[in-house]
Chains A and B, each alone.
Chain A
Amino acid sequence: MPPRIAFPTRRIFHRTPAALLCAVLGVAASAQGAGATALAGANAGAVAAKAPDQTLTFERDIRPLFKHHCVHCHGEGEKLKGGLDMRLRRFLVEPHGDGGDVAIVAGKPAESQMLRLVREGEMPPKGKKLTSEEVGLLERWIAQGAPTARPEPAEVPKVYITEEEREFWVFQPIRKVTLPLAERAGELPNPVDRFVVRELERRNLSLNPEASRSVLLRRVTLDLTGLPPSAEEIAAFEADTAPDAYTRLVERLLASPHYGERWGRHWLDLAGYSDSDGYSEADPLRAWAFQYRDYVIRSLNADKPLDRFIQEQLAGDEMVPLPHKNLGPDAVDKLAATGFLRMVPDGTAGVASAEQVTARNAVVGETLKVVSTTLLGLSVGCAQCHDHKHDPIAQRDYYQMRAIFEPGFDTVNWRVPANRLVSLMSDAERAASEAVEAEAKVIDARRKAREEELIELVLGWELAKRPEDLREPLRAAYRMPVKERKPEQVKLLKEHPTVNQLSPGSLYLYDTTYKTKHADELKAIAEEAAAVRKRKPQEQFVAVFNEAPASVKTPPKTAVFHRGDPKNPKDVVGPAELTVLASFQKGEFGAAPAGADPAARASLHRRLDYARHLTSGQHPLLTRVLVNRVWAHHFGRGIVGTPSDFGRMGDRPSHPELLDWLANALVEKGWSLKEMHRLLVNSNVYKQTSTRSAEKDAADPDNLLLGRMPVRRMDAEMLRDSMLVASGLLNRTMFGAPIPVMKDVDGQVILGIDTNDGSGRPTGKFVSLEGGEFRRSVYVQMRRTRPLGMLETFDFPKMEPNCEGRAASTVAPQSLALMNSEFALSQATAFADRLRAECGSDAAAVVRRAWKLAFAADPAEEEVKKGVEFLQKQTATLKAAEASGTKLLRPVMRQPTGPSAVKPEPSTPEHAALATFCQALMSANAFLYID
């Protein structure tokens, strides 16, 4: 068998004009990266140059062209444009339309009208024309007699999938793969190595040598925990000279609570984790989203088997018996897990009723997008408006998938986010809370009564300013209910606006006039009530995706929306797997068990059935998609380079057998993610150096064969967290409500509690975060409209609705942030404090220690010398600056009320110089990149 290495198609985004957002993948670009040509391989999707004598078939060669360019008008719609249906070959040779034309004449390209129309660019009338290669292909097929591969079906099925489409690799069962290079099992005990080495050796390449211990320590620690090794971890690893020191290091890291924070964050990207609802300008906070974040972190730390992890996220509510009250920790976990289906933007609480249909369907559509890209690795969302142009996913399939989730959404009996919260308060706590509330209500009543008195008082003063004869009529008019006022009373009041507009809401305005403090007095009573209410047991909630009893009793119907328009429903469909995968589905989703009373069900079980089907171990996509993502996070690129698109427009696997072997291994090892890490990070592939060589770059420029480890830039969170580790300020507290963000006086998003007034003006108040500002980035509030500046600068993604892969840009604002931001300066100063405390004033010792903390490595003697020289020079420069009047101040993290809220403390030339040294280390490529 020849090597099956295939090559990435370059993805080109294309947006349809449909109101519903749908990113469809365009055709493959003709210009491939020059490097890719070095390795021969089929370029999927594009019209590959086929040998001129090869027999073409409609199904394999022509139908994909038509699906992309023609079938939208000629086949899919209710009406056929010009009466021509292009879904089957035989329709092309039959007369169509009023004129009775035929589209093609088999064997006679010159007489085929369609060929002329596409060649002259008349068809398709809009959009991309066929390329000359595509036209040539069509011509040759017609000349060959327009053959089909087999007899065509008598009728076009509702979802028509050809055998050629079914044969596409991702829809094939996962193969049992024998390990290659059996004869070298002793030399290459790790199965991963055997697959990779075989492919390298086929091209006369080999792995790079093993990286140094310090490189490995930093690489694997960052990779598994998202944090660089601490001073203690470095010391422990250096002291451990046993041959299996690395393996045991991996075990320590997998056991670290920080592991779940790092790998949980990868999963949160896919889920589109956000602490706000998005959609509207207000972007309201989603106060309980963190319960889902914590569930993910806890689950990964516990190495919860991935099948259960996924089942809980799709159907945790269906695993907990009703009623969902007085819940134990396991039940809470399962309910919190469904937060996966509650992460997309949801503006339904705020939009007008006219926009509700759009807003609700956006929630459903975005959720399906999250589910399908995360779990299936297919852009199922593209079939929302029309059949997928490249993959065998019919529009009907999309709605069958929607039907699985429909009862939980129920767009008719919609529940806004606040109505999807489940209280974690027990009955006993609730009783206690109600008693406190009763107490507070008494104070509320007192406030109301006092307010009445004050209004009467002010009214009296206002009236006293009027002529005596007006007072009684004015009072009578004022006291008359608005609707019952006589016209003359209305007129009278209008002439006396200060009487007319006196109300509880405007009472505070009269304080200026009468030099009173009524507003303060009322506020004090309100605060009294609030203080009492504070004694209530804190009520916690989880945002749950579940099915309301009414939606279970009368399940909402799912219809295929014509052109994706929810206002134009057509055929009603039931819940089912994609047609192309139908053979993997055992039984109907949500079928009532035999003999069970359907009316007594707590939920429709569609999701639970679907989740079990996905995690059966037989599903051809789920495990491949999961292991590919794990691979991509460890090696910088997936075995399939497009982790969220395994379809025709995505990449083909670089190591297809390895992918299947890993998918099987995941199931065999009990769906343990940590086992997968053990396998991958203990491989020679993972442990090799990242050094490039001209030879490998020429043979494999994109490193698809993994003849070296890639050099990777830290992502945003890793960078911020690593700076906190180096400075020693990292607060390792886990879980709970997120650390709030706010806009500072310049409009930059910083960590802080917003004390601005209602009009966005600083009040001068400052509320401390009490060390929360130094917690890991995964605990920072992820407000859609307010990404933390430091994270956003380094490509923290916008969750719209989720992020399937991070970018790693290299732009000047990143350099500016590292050079000048208060975060960088204050971290550098804290780093300097730490060095001073640990090493005193011995410059060489300070440099050595700094080096180790920043890079987990020892500096060369030359580097120590240069570091010491820099410190001396910088100290002299700052001394001179101080002598000429410049104040040396310790930087302070910006405060919500402006830089003056906390007075900066003085620094010394020596300390400020050391801080710039630390800053240089933390902004160096050796820090930013992982070797």
Chain B
Amino acid sequence: MNRNGCYTRRHFLAQSGFGLSSLGALWLLQQEKLLGKPVDLVPQHFDTLPKVPPFQPRARAMISMFMQGGPSQIDLFDPKPELDKRNGQKFTGEIKFDDAANASTKLMASPWRFKKHGQSGIEVSELLPYFSQIVDDVTLIRGMQTGVSNHDQSINAMQTGGILGGRPTAGSWLTYALGSESQELPAYVALTDPRGLPVRGVGNWSQGWLPSLYQGTAVRSAEPRMANLDPAPHLRGAAQSQYLDFLGELNRAHLARHPAESDLEARISSYALAGRLQVAAKEALDIRGESEATRKMYGVDDPESGEFATRCLIARRLIERGVRFVQLFTGNQTWDHHKGIFKGLPSACKYVDRGAAALVMDLKERGLLDSTVVHWGGEMGRLPVIEYDGGRDVVGRDHNTYGFSMWLAGGGFKAGVVHGETDEFGHRAVKDIVTHHDYHATLLHLFGFDHAKLTFQRNGSAMALTDNKEARVVSEILT
């Protein structure tokens, strides 16, 4: 048995931590196919061992802060003097409302002031005082566009490259392509917001049709933090060690009755490895060892921003320990300010601004920024017109997937540049448009891959993150 189809990798795999699933093909195989070489392969299996990309990579890890809901570019990143001038006037252009019942065509200028910052002089809203301090380290994209309706589809586009659910996320693709530099920690970590899951829920870290090995591992803010990796609270420490000691005794006695059964020995050592994985995870998530200066920089004790900042700090610790891809989430519709934007947007900004900026500064100080892509952005932006036209406490902005902003830092992105423009109202991207496909192609390029060639064979087709759609590497924003 085990000699056909689904293979046994017994002994040696007991040495490698998260090696699981046993079916399928490595992307290298696909590469060779493209060269037309018939490849004789050892039985296909997948793992998360580190792999070398075909081209010289710029980045080796990525931290993405996914601002689900759609941060208002007009109020944060994309100042529009023309909009200020025409505040309250009718907008006459084409516009698509997702919430028609409460729509209006009345233009609304941003109530917040913009100021130039840093040497680059990038204009940023007063709502982001910490981000203002790192503008010289980022590429600010003002011409993002997915052009699809509503949250679900646009999240799918940004996270997975296609608008339908069920595809692998960018994080899954990266771990599929590159494995991880740590075999003691999951290759791909999703740091969830204790306040709740974003729209699309667990689909945000799903491996879709890639082998399940490449699913993101969710790390909760409260214990047990990782399913199966954290002991139940009452078994932590001595109780579990005693259990493992007793189990070890049982297994050694059993092995003595079955001499030379190497599988039994491998199983014994897999418990030892499991124990090491638990220790490694616990250590990586424990920020108590961080210096006072670092804790201060992130503001981990700040009641308003400390939770997110702590996750930013954990993200850095994970990347330092070899994790390939970490994504931080904000809770369900944190940025979906249809209504009450005057209150809602400042509070959402406060929640994330300090931690996000500290993360970039910290990575830079530690010399990790050059090799780590940092991303901050959501699935959409917002319209320049008022939604819920009922006064200051009520007004908000509806969805806009035709023109929005996000920022990137490190890993080969230029520092202190703005790329792309929206129209005079901040509505549609009109210059240097970057689609979700372009964004993904650019990411893969930085990690050493041609987006069209990093594929997975499924139903007889080569599937890609960019969904076999037109996609270009935005080389203008790369160093």
Binding site for B on A (CB under 8 A): 8, 11-17, 19-21, 26-27, 126-128, 279-283, 345, 347, 358-359, 362, 494-495, 497-498, 500-502, 506, 509-510, 512-513, 632, 636-638, 641-645, 651, 690-692, 694, 697, 711, 713, 743-748, 756, 758-762, 785, 787, 792-793, 795, 797-798, 800, 803-817, 819-822, 825, 863, 866, 870, 873-874, 877-878, 881-882, 886-889, 891, 894, 907, 912, 916-917, 919-921, 923-926, 928-929, 931
Contacts and interface: CB of A to CB of B under 8 A. Distances in A.
Interface in B234-291: 234-235, 237-240, 242-244, 246-247, 249-251, 253-255, 258-261, 263-264, 266-268, 270-271, 273-274, 277-278
A500 B7 CA distance: 61
Contacts of B23: 797-798, 800
B166 interface: yes
Nearest to A899: B224
A126 B103 contact: no
Contacts of B293: none
A894 B151 CA distance: 28
B322 interface: no
Given A127-B37, A501-B97, A510-B101, 11 more contacts: A12-B41, A26-B41, A126-B36, A281-B164, A281-B167, A358-B461, A362-B460, A744-B202, A816-B229, A877-B238, A921-B250
A509 B101 contact: yes
21 contacts: A15-B41, A21-B457, A126-B38, A128-B40, A494-B105, A501-B97, A694-B260, A711-B258, A713-B263, A748-B227, A804-B4, A806-B2, A809-B10, A809-B20, A815-B270, A815-B273, A816-B229, A822-B227, A878-B234, A881-B237, A886-B234
A807 B5 CA distance: 8
A82 B413 CA distance: 52
B335 to A, nearest CB: 15
Contact of A747 (B7, B14, B216, B266): B216
Nearest to B259: A692
A747 B40 contact: no
B247 A804 contact: no
Nearest to A894: B227
- Which has the most chain B C-beta neighbours within 10 Å: A16, A280, A747, A806? A747
Interface of B: 1-11, 13-14, 16-23, 25, 29, 33, 36-44, 90, 95, 97, 99-105, 151-152, 162, 164-167, 190, 196-203, 205-206, 208-209, 212, 215-216, 218, 220, 224, 227-235, 237-240, 242-244, 246-247, 249-251, 253-255, 258-261, 263-264, 266-268, 270-271, 273-274, 277-278, 332, 457, 459-461
Given A11-B4, A691-B258, A362 B459 contact: yes
Contacts of A758: 152
B209 A281 contact: yes
Nearest to A282: B166
Contacts of A692: 258-261
Given A497-B105, A820-B228, A926-B254, A795 B1 contact: no
Contacts of B90: 495
A104 B206 CA distance: 58
A912 B234 contact: yes
Contacts of B251: 924-926
Contact of A809 (B9, B200, B260): B9
Nearest to A124: B38
- Which has the most chain B C-beta neighbours within 10 Å: A756, A822, A881, A925? A925
Nearest to A759: B199
Contacts of B249: 866
Contact of A813 (B2, B18, B203, B230): B18
A642 B7 CA distance: 12
B1 A636 contact: yes
A16 B270 CA distance: 36
A891 B190 CA distance: 25
Given A15-B25, A512-B101, A805-B3, A746 B220 contact: yes
Given A280-B166, A501-B100, A924 B202 contact: no
Nearest to B7: A807
Nearest to B462: A19
A356 B36 CA distance: 27
B48 to A, nearest CB: 11
B100 to A, nearest CB: 3
A212 B43 CA distance: 38
A495 B92 CA distance: 8
Contact of A19 (B104, B231, B461): B461
B229 A759 contact: no
Contacts of B459: 279, 345, 347, 358-359, 362
A924 B252 CA distance: 10
Given A13-B41, A282-B166, A498 B270 contact: no
Given A16-B38, A692-B259, A920 B246 contact: yes
B14 A811 contact: yes
If over half of A's interface residues share one DSSP class (helix, strand or loop), that class is named, otherwise mixed; here it is loop
Contacts of B6: 795, 797, 803, 805-807
A135 B272 CA distance: 50
- Which has the most chain A C-beta neighbours within 10 Å: B99, B100, B104, B255? B100
B239 A761 contact: no
A509 B98 CA distance: 10
Contacts of B3: 8, 11, 637, 641-642, 651, 805
A815 B151 CA distance: 39
A761 B100 CA distance: 24
A756 B228 contact: no
B6 to A, nearest CB: 4
A359 B461 CA distance: 10
B201 A495 contact: no
Contacts of B203: 760
Nearest to B11: A810
B197 A810 contact: no
A809 B22 contact: yes
A546 B278 CA distance: 54
A20 B243 CA distance: 51
A362 B457 CA distance: 13
A359 B216 CA distance: 30
A812 B240 contact: no
Given A14-B39, A759-B199, A925 B101 contact: no
A456 B449 CA distance: 57
Nearest to B202: A747
B238 to A, nearest CB: 5
A873 B242 contact: yes
B274 A819 contact: yes
A745 B14 contact: no
B321 to A, nearest CB: 17
A14 B37 CA distance: 11
A787 B237 CA distance: 32
Given A807-B2, A815-B271, A819-B240, A14 B152 contact: no
Contacts of B263: 711, 713, 808, 810, 929
Given A644-B5, A929-B264, A513 B102 contact: yes
A501 B101 contact: yes
Contact of B239 (A282, A510, A874): A874
The 9 tightest CB contacts between A and B, nearest first, are A281-B166, A501-B100, A760-B201, A509-B101, A747-B202, A815-B274, A807-B6, A746-B218, A497-B103
Nearest to A745: B197
Contact of A916 (B104, B216, B237, B243): B243
Contact of A785 (B7, B36, B39, B209): B209
A462 B235 CA distance: 62
A877 B239 contact: yes
A23 to B, nearest CB: 9
A459 to B, nearest CB: 12
A601 to B, nearest CB: 34
- Which has the most chain A C-beta neighbours within 10 Å: B14, B40, B99, B461? B40
A929 B200 CA distance: 40
Given A281-B167, A808-B2, A887-B234, A127 B38 contact: yes
A746 B196 CA distance: 11
